[in-house]
Structure 1
């Protein structure tokens, strides 16, 4: 896993080059355990 900074409030979780979670779609930051459950 690599953490990369973004800009403009963008928060995405990617696996390889695929976006698997996006704050814009969900409307919130990941809840505890939510991000790790994606992997």
Structure 2
């Protein structure tokens, strides 16, 4: 149970990290697009 719980915690952290990085990358690409559109 203890080992299983720690594994789930690690997986959750990894998913959060991946999601954050994906969101950041997505925002960067769209920001460039909007930046070109505005200026």
Q: Above 0.5 in TM-score?
A: no
Per the shorter chain, which TM-score range?
under 0.3
Larger RCO of the pair (alpha carbons < 8 Å, separation 6+): 1
Task: Give the TM-score, by structure 1 length.
Answer: 0.20
Larger Rg: 2
